[in-house]
Each structure stands twice: as structure tokens, then as C-alpha cells.
Amino acid sequence: MIDSTIDSGTVTTDIDAGIATVIFAHPKGNSLPGSLLAQIADAIQTLGGDPDVKVIVLRSKGGGAFCAGASFAELQAITDEQSGTKFFMGFATLILAMIRCPKFIVTRVQGKAVGGGVGIVAASDYVMATEAASVRLSELAVGIGPFVVGPAIERKIGLGAFSALTVDAEWRNAHWAERHGLYASVHDTTDALDDAVRQLAQRLATSNPEAMARLKANFWAGTEGWGELLASRAAASGMLVLSDFTRRTLAR
């Protein structure tokens, strides 16, 4: 087991019988500072090139929130467009690592997912959740928008549902997410979720790696230009985070 401790949060990777499990953790609701985003992206890229890995399970630590999204502390610390763009590029880099990884990524969502956390869910290939796994895009409420994570979410749930989730920044429950294709299944308890994730991962670990890689390429066909697209979205977010509206909102 590899345990990589960073400034605020950890990323742990474990490989067993062809199943690689990546667990990220942060004391603030499993939120995502830039260093943690980079660690997750690096782990996904490394595992994607490991012939011993057949499938990747992505999850967060604890029984609370799956992911509280961007680190508010880092958002508050942004002082210029360059640093703002760099921060939001962390989400772009992770999304690109996930969709370009040749292995299926099965994501386990035990609790609420906000903002960038919803983006991670959408960039996954298969997602299982519990009843507690509500979703929310809160970016507009703080004066920006889900620009970087938007393409992955819109692709997964469609423009209508994405627009509703963006404009009305309120919570949607897990069954809403399941109906719109963000979750493949919703389970009553964490134990039931873990059983379902384990069974699927075990089946995938014995499946044909070449067939899975080709299927994944089909899933994400048409995203070849996303490197440039997400970079431009990160630049837009880096500019908006410096607006007077957003600075006042973050200060509150």
C-alpha cells in the first residue's frame, strides 16, 4: 500500500487481484485543494499504465460527504488570474486523466457531492451511490460557474438536467441523480454499496482488458479537444473568482 500525505489531505492507493482502489481524504468534507487534485490525477495516470491493474475503484474516506468540491481556503487565497487558472486547471487535469485512462473507473459515492465532486462523478465510467448521496452545483451561488466540470456533467446527464442543476443551485437527491444517469445504482446502506462495488470490480477484473479499453474509448469518443476546452474554461473561472461579487461571497 502506498500512502501519500500532502499538505492537507491524503491519497491512498492499493492494488489487489487486479483491482486498484484509490481513496482520497480531506478533513474539510473531502474537499479538493490543488495538491490533492494533482495526487489523484497522478494516481489515475499511473494505474492506467499498470498491466497488473484491470479496473480502478475511486472513493473518498469516511462516512460523511463524498466530496465538498473546491477548497474554499485556496479559492480565498487566489490573488491573480494566473493563480486562479492554475487552481481550476487542477480539476481539468483530473477529469482528463479519468476519461483518458484506458481502465474503467468505478466510483463509490457514500455521501453528498458538491461542485467539483459532481464533476468527478460525471467523469467516471460507472458510479454507485447510497441514499445519502445528494448532488449540488454550488458554483453560481459563489459568483462563478461549473465551467471546468460542466462538459463532463452535461455529457453524462444531458443539457436540460445540467442547466437545471446549474441555474437552481439546490440539492438534488440520489434518485434524481440516478434517473438522469449520473448514478448507475443507489443502495440503502453503505454496506450494500460496498458489496455492490466489490462484486462489480471483481467481475471486471476478470474481463477482457482490450475489450474494456475499446469500450471506454467509445464512451468518451468526441472528447479529443477537451484539453483546450477545459483550459479555456479554467481561465474563465480564474478570472471570475477575482470579481468583487465572488470575493465578497467567499469572505462571508
β-strands 55-60, 104-109 pairing: parallel
Grid coordinates representing 111 are: 455521501
Q: Residue 5 pLDDT more than 50?
A: no
* Structure confidence by residue, pLDDT tens digits, 131-161: 999 999 999 988 899 999 999 999 999 999 9
Give one word for 170, left, alpha or beta, with left for phi > 0 and alpha for psi -120 to 50: beta
Distance CA 52, CA 60 (A): 23
Q: Where are the domains of the chain?
A: 2-205
* Structure confidence by residue, pLDDT tens digits, 6-62: 357 999 999 999 999 999 999 999 999 999 999 999 999 999 999 999 999 999 999
Q: Which residues pair with 20 in a beta bridge?
A: 15, 56
- What are phi and psi for residue 118, nearest 5 degrees? -65, -35
Pick the CATH number of 2-205 from 1.10.10.1100, 3.90.226.10, 3.40.50.1970, 3.40.50.620: 3.90.226.10
Mean pLDDT of 71-94: 93
pLDDT at 7: 57
